């Protein structure tokens, strides 16, 4: 029996994705776990894996098509099986070719870098075909879309690099980050101007158009440039968080002497290779969340939503923004598994190749700035969650112990909670339990 393959939600913020390449062809055999296609989301390029076995009978959406989550993109079934003809071509709300986007009008970017304005297609694009969005991709041949990963594009745009003539080293000639970095190393001079005019047929000289006043930075304020796709998503999510979630903050000072001793002992064992303080904190946070599940909950449409699992997200800096890989069921996973899983997911995120499951399902997040000289800070809650923990650097400080004063490594942990569902008492109980676990970390190995 034929099975329809739909566009999955590959991250918590994904509402649509663009099919970059199909890894399988029509008529090709499919096994469970095979990569069907590569998709560009608002955060990263991810692969769609098959959950079924059979033959790829039909591809509904060709490469270069933007597709809404839940739309049918392919059909898998038995070889030679008769399948119904595809429905009428999907509307712009369901799937739209990437080339059509280039002719849709868009609003000019604002000069205020903290604002978030995304371009909305006009209801009748045909009525204004000459207006192009400011972020249309360059092309080396008319009508041909350049294959480039979002990460590589972000790096190129940030450095003013023209990638229209770059030959990519990725699959199918796709331009990846290392191609842009190699180009940057070979061209240390001034940035290349993007979309240079053709030199073969000089066009008549025309007066230079004057940009709208709203897009011009004030005199002496430097340049203004549109946000990348990732940064636009981050801006939208952060504005949503601070304007809809009433934040409440609680801070605890924690003696990390025993954690340092535990890490020094464990890192010599092969199953704990590469263990960091953050891995130990993830496990302690997960156990504290299991004891106080209200802090693991979220507010959604007037309801208190209590997840069945404790899935801890790790806020990770990547070129051009942030990603949040998620350690699933961290409360019941052994510390050694958390070390291995977290290391692998963070490495994939920083390489621009996270797996689809890496970025979804988070119920709580940790933002750790321990690698910097940061004494304390507060973090903004990710929409869809009820709390986030901000962890500072571990610093030696005077600590009262046994009636005397000693010098000990101390960390400050600040919990941001959604005050609609989490009160000060709940936050205080959670931090007290977290402090207890970190000051007696042998409990994390039980």
Q: What spatial distance separates the first Cα and last Cα of the chain, rounded to whole Å? A: 48
The answer to whether the beta carbons of residues 68 and 255 sit under 8 Å apart is no
Q: Is residue 127 part of a domain?
A: no
Q: Are residues 312 and 405 in the same domain?
A: yes
Q: Is residue 219 part of a domain?
A: no
Q: Is residue 403 part of a domain?
A: yes
Q: Is residue 238 part of a domain?
A: no
Q: Are residues 13 and 145 in the same domain?
A: no
Average pLDDT over residues 60-83: 87
pTM of the model: 0.63
Q: Are residues 259 and 384 in the same domain?
A: yes
Q: Say what the pLDDT of residue 271 is.
A: 95
Contacts of 33-40 spanning 24+ positions with Cβ under 8 A: 36/5, 36/74, 37/63, 37/73, 37/74, 38/171, 39/7, 39/10, 40/149, 40/150
The answer to whether the beta carbons of residues 413 and 390 sit under 8 Å apart is yes
Q: Model confidence over 144-197: pLDDT tens digits? A: 567 787 667 766 776 777 777 787 776 667 787 777 777 776 655 444 444 444
Q: Is residue 301 part of a domain?
A: yes
Say which residues have a Cβ less than 8 Å from residue 377's Cβ, sequence separation at least 6: 369, 390, 392, 414
Q: Are residues 171 and 267 in the same domain?
A: no
Indicate the average pLDDT of the chain: 80
Q: Model confidence over 101-157: pLDDT tens digits? A: 333 333 343 334 333 443 443 344 444 443 334 433 444 444 456 778 766 776 677
Q: Are residues 175 and 251 in the same domain?
A: no
Domain count, the chain: 3
Q: Say what the pLDDT of residue 135 is.
A: 39
Q: Are residues 191 and 261 in the same domain?
A: no
Q: Are residues 31 and 94 in the same domain?
A: yes
Q: How far apart are CA 273 and CA 391, in angstroms?
A: 22
Structure-token match 């972020």, residue found: 135
Last residue of a domain, one of 48, 80, 98: 98
Q: Is residue 431 part of a domain?
A: yes
Give the domain CATH number at 77: 2.40.50.100
Q: Are residues 84 and 169 in the same domain?
A: no
Give the domain CATH number at 169: 4.10.320.10
Q: Are residues 285 and 358 in the same domain?
A: yes
Of 263 and 13, more confident: 263
Q: Are residues 181 and 280 in the same domain?
A: no
Q: Is residue 218 part of a domain?
A: no
Q: Are residues 164 and 91 in the same domain?
A: no
Give the domain range for residue 282.
Answer: 246-445
Q: Say what the pLDDT of residue 276 is.
A: 97
Q: Is residue 222 part of a domain?
A: no
Q: Place 205 in a pLDDT band, splitting at 50, 70 and 90.
A: low
The answer to whether the beta carbons of residues 282 and 336 sit under 8 Å apart is no
In the annotation, is 141 catalytic?
no
Q: Are residues 312 and 419 in the same domain?
A: yes
Give the domain CATH number at 341: 3.30.559.10
* Strand ranges inside 319-429, DSSP E: 321-323, 326-327, 364-368, 387-391, 395-401, 404-418
């Amino acid at each position: 029996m034929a099975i329809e393959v739909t566009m999955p939600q590959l991250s918590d913020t994904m509402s649509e994705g663009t099919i970059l390449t199909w890894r399988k062809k029509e008529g090709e055999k499919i096994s469970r776990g095979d990569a069907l296609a590569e998709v560009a989301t608002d955060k990263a390029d991810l692969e769609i894996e098959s959950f079924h076995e059979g033959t790829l009978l039909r591809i509904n959406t060709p490469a270069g098509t933007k597709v809404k989550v839940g739309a049918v993109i392919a059909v898998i079934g038995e070889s030679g099986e008769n399948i119904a003809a595809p429905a009428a071509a999907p509307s712009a709300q369901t799937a739209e070719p990437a080339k059509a986007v280039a002719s849709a009008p868009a609003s000019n970017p604002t000069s205020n870098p903290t604002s978030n304005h995304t371009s909305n297609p006009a209801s009748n694009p045909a009525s204004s075909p000459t207006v192009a969005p400011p972020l249309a991709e360059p092309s080396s041949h008319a009508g041909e879309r350049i294959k480039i990963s979002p990460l590589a594009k972000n790096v190129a745009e940030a450095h003013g690099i023209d990638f229209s003539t770059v030959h990519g080293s990725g699959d199918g000639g796709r331009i990846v980050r290392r191609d842009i970095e190699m180009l940057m190393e070979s061209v240390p001079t001034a940035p290349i101007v993007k979309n240079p005019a053709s030199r073969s047929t000089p066009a008549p000289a025309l007066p230079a158009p004057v940009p709208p006043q709203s897009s011009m930075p004030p005199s002496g304020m430097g340049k203004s440039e549109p946000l990348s796709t990732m940064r636009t998503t981050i801006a939208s999510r952060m504005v949503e968080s601070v304007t809809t979630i009433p934040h409440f903050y609680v801070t605890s000072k924690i003696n990390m002497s025993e954690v340092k001793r535990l890490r020094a002992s464990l890192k010599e064992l092969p199953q704990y290779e590469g263990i960091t303080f953050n891995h130990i904190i993830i496990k302690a946070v997960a156990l504290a969340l299991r004891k106080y599940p209200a802090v693991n909950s979220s507010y959604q449409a007037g309801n208190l939503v209590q997840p069945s699992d404790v899935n801890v997200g790790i806020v990770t800096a990547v070129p051009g923004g942030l990603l949040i890989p998620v350690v699933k069921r961290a409360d019941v996973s052994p510390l050694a598994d958390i070390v291995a899983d977290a290391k692998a997911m963070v490495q994939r995120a920083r390489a621009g190749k996270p797996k689809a499951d890496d970025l979804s399902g988070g119920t709580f997040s940790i933002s750790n700035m321990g690698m910097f000289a940061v004494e304390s800070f507060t973090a903004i809650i990710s929409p869809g969650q009820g709390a986030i923990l901000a962890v500072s650097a571990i610093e030696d400080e005077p600590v009262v112990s046994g009636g005397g004063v000693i010098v000990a490594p101390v960390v400050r942990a600040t919990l941001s909670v959604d005050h609609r569902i989490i009160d000060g008492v709940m936050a205080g109980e959670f931090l007290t339990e977290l402090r207890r676990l970190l000051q007696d970390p042998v409990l994390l190995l039980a």
